[in-house]
Structure 1
Amino acid sequence: MVKSIPTYSQFGCIGSGFSAIGLGATLKRWYGITDVRFFERHSDLGGTWWANKYPGCACDVPSILYSFSFAPNPNWSQVLATADELCEYLKYVAGQYDLESKMTFRAEVYRCEWRHQTKRWRMYIRNLDTGETLIHECQFLFGATGILVKPRPCDIAGADTFKGPIFHSAEWRQDVDVTGKNVVLVGNGCTASQIVPAIVNKTKHLSQFVRSKHWIIPPINVPYTKFWQAIFEHVPGVLAFFRFSIFLYAENDMRGFFMTKAGEAYRKYYEGVATRYIKKTAPAKYHDMLIPDFSLGCKRRIYDPGYCKALHAKNLTVSQEPIVEIVPQGVRTKDGNVTKADVIVLASGFDTNQYMAGIEVVGRSGQTINQHWESWDGPEAYACSALNDFPNFFMLLGPNTTTGHTSTVMAAENNINYALRVIKPVLDGEALFVEVRRDAEERYSREMQAALKNTVWFSGCHSWYNKEDADGNKWNSMTYPKFQPQFWWESLFPVYKDWIYQASNSGCRSLEGST
C-alpha cells in the first residue's frame, strides 16, 4: 500500500532490485547520503527475483559472485542461489543500509520530465491501489528498472478460447496447482529448463513445445555444506578468494565470445563438452532437438539444472511441431494434432532491447528517450548509462551492460560507481547539473556496435540479445563486448571532457584537464 511520500528527495530511483539497492548502499557508503526515494510497482523489494516465482527459479551465475562486492554472504545454501534466497539477501542488504524505509511499493512511475528552471526531475507516479497520481521531484534520477521486465505477449492465435489457466512464467499463478494436471509448456530456454525438472513429477503429463535449440552444459550447482559456510564466515580472506577465483574462471569464458581463431577454438572445445554431455544424459530420441547447429555463446548458455535427466520421465513429451492455435481443450499443432491441456505455461521470454519500458522520460529539449533513440537503430547510452539532453539522469544496467558469461551485479556496481564519480562536482556545489556531450555519446555508440560485430552474438543465430529489422540489419543493445575488468577500469576513471557541467544558469564548462 502506498503511504504518503515527500515531495522532494535529492535522489529518485525507479525500482528496488539489485541495482537500486546497490545505489542506495553506495550513496551512504561513499558520501553519507541518505536522501533517496525508491519507487517500486511490485509490493515488495527484489526486482526480477521477487517478480519471478515460477518453480525452480534460480540464478545461473554462482551466488558468491552474483552478489555485492561490499556485502559478501558466507551463508549461500548452494552454488546457484534460488530466487527466494536472493530476495532474502537483498532484504538483508537493504536492512543494513536502512533502505526499505525509503521505498514506496505499489507505485508505478509512468512519466519523468526534466524541469530546467528548477534543475530537477519531476516524477509522475501512479498509486496502483487507488489510481491516484502522485508527484515527486528529485535532483538526480536513476532508472533501475531492469532488463527482463516485460513478458513477451502470447503470439499464438486462440489464447482467449482456452478453458483453463494460461499464463507467462514470469507471472506464475500461485493459485494454480499443476499436481495431477496435463500441462503444456511453451519454450525451452533458461526458464523452461528450470521449470521442467521442478514440476514434471507432479504433473499427470507435461508436454513441452520447443521453438529453438540451446547449448546445455554440465551442471555446476552443488550445496554448500555447514563446514564450508563456517569457513567462509570465520576464516579471513577465504570468501574473498573464492569470489575472485570464480570471477577469473568466469572471465576466462569471455575469450569464447570473440570471433578470433582463439575464440573459435575455445567454442569448439566447449561445444564438444556440451554435445557429449547431452548425448550422455538426455534420451537419444531428443538429441537432434537439443544439440544446436550454431556457435556456443550466440544464445545464453544453460547450466543444466536437471533438465536433461528430467527428459527421461515417462509422463513427459517434447515436440518441435509448431503450435498454430490454442483451442479450448489445449493446443493444435501444424500436423493437425491437438494436445490436451489443463494448464498452459508460456516460457517465451521477454521483450528485450527495451529500456525504461512503459515510462515516458522527457529530457531538456522536450524529447523523450524513445525519440532520442530514433537517431540510432536501437537503444544505446554513453558508458552504458547516460544520454545527451537528459541531465542528472543515469540508467543502471542500461544498454549493453548484460554479460553472457558473468555476473550482472558487477556490471550494476560499475554503473553506480561511474555515475557517482561523474556527479561529484554537482554534489560539491561546483555545478548545477551534468550532461554527457552528444559527440561523445555518438562515438561511444559507434564503437560499441563495431566491437559487437566481432563477437559470437552476431554470428547468425536468432537471439534475444539482438534486434533485427526487416532488412536483416542487427542492433545489439544488450551485451557488453569487452572483458568486465575493462568496464570496471572505465568506471574508475571517467573521461570528464566528455561531460558538460553547468556551473551557473548561464555558463557551462567541461573538466578538460581530467581524463
Structure 2
Amino acid sequence: MINFEPRCVDEGRKVKVIVVGAGVGGILCGIRLPQHLPAAELVIYEKNKDIGGTWYENRYPGVACDIPSHSYQATFEPNPNWSTFYASGHEILKYWHDVAEKYGVRKYVVPNSKVEKATWDEQSTKWTVEVKSTVTGKVVTDIGDYVVCAYGLLNDWQWPKIKGLHEFKGKLLHTANWDESYDYSVTAMHYGIQVVPAILSRVRRIDHYVRGKTWIAPGFLSEEFTTDNCTVTQLQYPPELREKFRNDKDFYLDYRKGNGVAKHVESRLASHQKLMDQLTPSFSPGCRRLKPGPGYLEAIVDPKVNYITDPISEITPTGIATTDGVNREVDAIFCAIGFNTSYTGRFPVYGRNGMTIDERWSKYPETYLRVCTNELPNIFFILSPNTGPSTGNLLLVVEKQVEFIIAMLQKAQRDAIVIIKPKKTSVKNFSEYCHQYFSKTIFKEDCRAWYKSEAAGNRVTALWPGSTLHQAKVLKNPRWEDFQYEYLSNNKVAWLGDGWTVDEKLEGGNRSWHLDSENIDFPPQAEGFM
C-alpha cells in the first residue's frame, strides 16, 4: 500500500541552510539559493560588521584585482563602469555591495557573528552551529539541515614568525588589518608587490625585504593599448570608452572575451642585471602563482627602494636586522606575508563519529569535485581543496560551485533525502585523478607555493585538475551515482507527491508554463532556411 505524500511533485521540502561567510561566495548563495530553493530558510553568518569578505578586510594602499576588471565580476551582472583595467579593492567592494543590494541579499545576513563550532547530530540529521557575537561575546545556537562554508581562503591572516616582531616600537601593520588613518607620507618602511608602487611617491625610503624569487607577469595588457580607436594609458579607461561599454553590449561582450588585447609589457629590468638575478627564479613560470604587478618592476629600480634578499634575523625596537649583520632603522613595518591557506577548519567541524575537518584534511585534504567530502554529510564548501583554477576566472568557478550545491539541495528537497554525501570511492577516485593530473604538469617542479602541501609530499592541493572551463563543464551536471543517500521514509515513490503541481493548486498559478519561450528548447534551424 502506497501512502501518498500530501504535497505537490514540485513542492520542495522545507529545509534550513546555514551559510558561513558573506564574501563573494556567501553573496552568491544569498542570490541563488532563494531563487532556486524558495522553500528553504536561509541565514548567512558574517564575522565582520559588513559584507564583502576579503575585499572588505584588505584595505592596504594599492590593493587591487590582479586580473582584468571585466573578468572579475558575476556573469549575470556585468559592469561596464570599471574605471581601471585592474580594479581597486574599494571599487570591487562597491561592486559587490551594489550586487547584494540589487538582489536583496542583506536580509539574510547576520553581521558581527562568528561561527565557533558546527556539530553533526546523527539522530536529528541536522547541524548544530554555535555562533558568537563579535560585539557582545554572546554565544547562540542555530540548527540547520545543511551548512555551506563560504569563508574562502584569504581571511585567516598571519603575523610572520620573526624574533622581536611585537617589540617593535614603530607602526606595525598587516595588509589584512590595515589602519587607514595611518599617515605613511614621511616614513621609511618595508612591504610587497602591490603596496610598493602605490606608496612610493609618498615615502622617504622603502626597504623591500624579499624572501624568495618569483616571476612577475606582465599582466594581461601593456600599459598602453588601443581598442576601437580609444587609447588607454596607465591602465585607465577614458570616458569615451566607458560610454561605449555602457551603450554597445556587443562591443562590451567582445571586449570581456579578450579580443583585441595588445602585447604584454616588455621587461623593465634590462639594464639592472643584479635585480634580475635576485628576482628571477630557477623554476618555470607558472610553478608558483604568476604575479602581475603593474608598476612594481619600475618601482624597485627607483633610488628610494632598497631591494633586500638577505634573510631577516630579528626585529629590533627601532628596525630590522638581517643575517649579514646590517640593522636598518625604520618608522613602520608593513607585513605582507599573506594568509593561512591550509584547509584545516576555520572553526571545529564535527561530522559522523566525531570526525573533524582537521582530522580528515590534516595530511592531504580530499574532496569530491572540491565541493564536499565523505564523513561530513550535508555540508558543502566553496573554495575548498583542489578548487582554484591554475588558469582562468576564479569567480566563474565560485558561481558554478554554488550552482552545483543548489542542484544537490534541489535533489534532496525533491526526493525527500535527509542525508547526502559523496561515496568514499568517489572521493578517493577524484583525489587520485588530481594526483595523476598534476604529476605531468609544470606544478610538479620544485618550488614553494601556497597550493602545495608539504605534509603530503608537495602534492598540489589547491588547484583544479584542468582548465576553468573544464571545471565549469564538470560541475554543470552532477553524477548522482557518485553519492550516498538516506531518505526521510521508506516510501520510495514519495518524490511523486500527490499527483499535482504547485501551479495547479495555486490561485493564479501558471498552468501553461510549458508554452513560455524560456521553457522551450528550440532546436537550431537548417542552414539557409528562411
TM tier relative to shorter chain: 0.7 to 0.9
CA displacement, residues 338-364 of structure 1 (integer Å, 9 cap, x when unaligned): 00011111111222232532x111113
CA distance in 2, matches of 1:475, 1:351: 17
Residue correspondences, number: 467
Q: 1:363-407 CA deviation, whole Å, 9 max, x = no partner?
A: 132211112225xx3222101110112222110111111123322
Question: Contact 2:153 / 2:340 at 8 angstroms: preserved in 1?
Answer: no
Map of 2:292 onto structure 1:
303
Contact preservation (8 Å) 1:455, 1:481: no
Distance 1:43 1:170 in 2: 15
Q: Distance in 2 between matches of 1:408 and 1:455?
A: 20
Alignment-derived partner of residue 244 in structure 2: 231
Equivalent in 391, 400, 404 of residue 386 of structure 2: 400
Candidates 314, 317, 322, aligned match of 1:328: 317
CA apart distance, 1:116: 2.5
CA distance in 1 between counterparts of 2:117 and 2:491 reads 29
Cα gap change, 1:341/1:9 in structure 2, threshold over 3 Å: closer, same or farther? farther
Number of the residue aligned with 1:365: 353
Report the AA paired with residue 195 of structure 1: V
Paired residues for 1:46-65 under 5 Å: 46-65=52-71
- Deviation of 1:316 after TM superposition, in Å, equals 1.4
1:311-335 Cα offsets, whole Å, 9 max, x none, are: 2332211111111010111011111
Shift of 1:300: 1.2
The alpha-carbon distance between structure 1 residues 23 and 240, as it changes in their structure 2 partners (threshold 3 A), is farther
CA contact (8 A) 1:354 1:379 kept: yes
Q: Which secondary structure state, in structure 2, belongs to the residue aligned with residue 354 of structure 1?
A: coil
Query: 2: CA distance between counterparts of 1:356 and 1:413?
Result: 22
Quick one: distance in 2 between partners of 1:426 and 1:369? 23
1:183 is matched by which residue type in structure 2?
M
Equivalents in 1 of 2:286, 2:39: separation in Å? 41
- Inter-partner Cα distance in structure 1 for 2:434 and 2:410: 26
Determine if the alignment matches structure 1 residue 473 to structure 2 residue 457: yes
> 1:394-424 CA distances to partner (integer Å, 9 max, x unpaired)?
1011111112332211111121111111221
State the alpha-carbon separation in 1 of the partners of residues 490 and 139 from structure 2: 34
Pairing of 1:414-453 with structure 2 (within 5 A) = 414-453=400-439
Give the match for residue 302 of structure 2: 313
How many angstroms apart in 1 are the aligned matches of 2:355 and 2:492? Answer: 21
**Letter in structure 1 aligned against 2:361:** W
Alignment of 1:104-503 (within 5 A): 104-185=110-191, 192-219=192-219, 220=221, 222-245=235-258, 277-280=267-270, 283-357=272-346, 359-374=347-362, 377-469=363-455, 473-503=457-487
Q: Give the Cα separation in 2 of the matches to 1:434 and 1:243.
A: 38
Q: C-alpha distance in 2, partners of 1:291/1:335?
A: 22
State the secondary structure of the residue aligned to 2:481: helix
CA distance in 2, matches of 1:242, 1:134: 48
1:507 offset after TM fit, Å? 8.8
- Indicate whether 1:79 and 2:82 are aligned: no
Q: Is contact 2:63–2:194 with CA below 8 Å preserved after alignment?
A: yes
**SS state at 1:351 partner:** coil
- AA aligned to 2:216 is I
User: Between Structure 1 and Structure 2, whose CA radius of gyration is higher?
Assistant: 2
- Please report how far the alpha carbon of residue 139 of structure 1 lies from its aligned counterpart in structure 2 after TM superposition: 1.7
Counterpart amino acid of residue 209 in structure 1? Y
| Matching residue's letter, 2:470 | Q
Mapped to 1, the partners of 2:344 and 2:477 lie a distance apart of 25
Check whether the contact 2:364–2:461 (CA below 8 A) recurs between aligned residues.
yes
Whether the aligned pair in 1 keeps the contact of 2:344 and 2:361 (CA below 8 Å) is no
1:223-245 residue CA offsets vs partner (Å, 9 max, x unmatched): 22322323222223333333334
**What is the alpha-carbon root mean square deviation over aligned residues?**
2.4
| CA–CA distance in structure 2, aligned partners of residues 139 and 405 of structure 1 | 35
Aligned position for 2:517: none
Deviation of the 1:434 alpha carbon: 1.2
Please list every run of 5 or more consecutive structure 2 residues that lacks an aligned counterpart in the other structure. Answer: 1-13, 224-234, 496-530
**What is the rounded CA distance, in whole Å, between the counterparts of 1:29 and 1:78 in structure 2?**
32
For 1:239 and 1:432, locate their aligned partners in 2 and report how far apart those are by CA, in whole Å.
45
State the match for 1:256 in structure 2.
Answer: none
**1:106–1:129 contact (8 Å) kept in structure 2:** yes
TM-score where L is the length of structure 1: 0.85
Q: Higher helix proportion, which one?
A: 1
More off after superposition, 130-139 vs 422-431: 422-431
Task: Point out the more displaced range, 459-468 or 8-17.
Answer: 8-17
Cα gap change, 1:371 to 1:505, in 2 (>3 Å) = farther
Matching residue's letter, 1:477:
T
User: Is the Cα–Cα contact under 8 Å of residues 9 and 37 in structure 1 kept in the other structure?
Assistant: no
State the distance in 1 between where 2:238 and 2:128 align. Answer: 49
Tell me if the contact between 2:159 and 2:335 (Cα under 8 Å) persists in the aligned partners.
no
Q: 2-side partners of 1:304 and 1:435: how far apart?
A: 41
1:59 deviates by 0.6
Aligned counterparts of 2:179 and 2:249: Cα–Cα separation in 1: 44
Cα distance in structure 1, aligned partners of 2:212 and 2:491: 56
Distance 1:453 1:214 in 2: 22
Letter in 1 for 2:320: V
What fraction of aligned residue pairs are identical, expressed as a percent? 26
Contact 1:143 1:356 in 2 (8 A): no
Q: CA deviation at 1:33?
A: 5.7
- CA distance in 1: counterparts of 2:169 and 2:355, whole angstroms: 45
For 1:436, the aligned partner's letter is P
The alpha-carbon deviation at position 126 of structure 1 amounts to 0.8
The residue that corresponds to 2:7 in the other structure is none
- 3-state SS of the aligned residue for 1:370? helix
Amino acid in structure 2 at the alignment position of 1:352: T
- Contact 1:353/1:379 (8 A) holds in 2: no
Deviation at 1:154, TM superposition (A): 1.6
Label 1:447 to 1:204 Cα distance change in 2 as closer, same or farther (>3 A). Answer: same
Distance 1:433 1:229 in 2: 49
> Following TM superposition, by how much is the alpha carbon of 1:21 offset from its aligned partner in structure 2, in angstroms?
1.0
Change in Cα spacing, 1:32 to 1:507, as seen in structure 2 (3 Å) is closer
Cα distance in 1 between the residues matched to 2:446 and 2:417: 47
Q: Report Cα offsets for 1:173-222 as digits up to 9, x if no partner.
A: 2232211111123xxxxxx1110011122112110111111111224362
- What is the one-letter code of the residue matched to 1:48? T
Aligned-partner SS, 2:324: coil
Is the 1:380–1:399 contact (alpha carbons within 8 Å) kept by the matching residues of 2?
yes
TM-score by length of 2: 0.83
Aligned partner of residue 240 in structure 2, secondary structure: helix
CA distance in 2, matches of 1:213, 1:506: 61
Residues 28 and 399 in structure 2, CA contact (< 8 A), matched pair in contact too: yes
**Matches of 1:86 and 1:232, distance apart in 2:** 18
Q: Distance in 1 between matches of 2:20 and 2:391?
A: 27
- Tell me which amino acid in the other structure corresponds to 1:67: Q
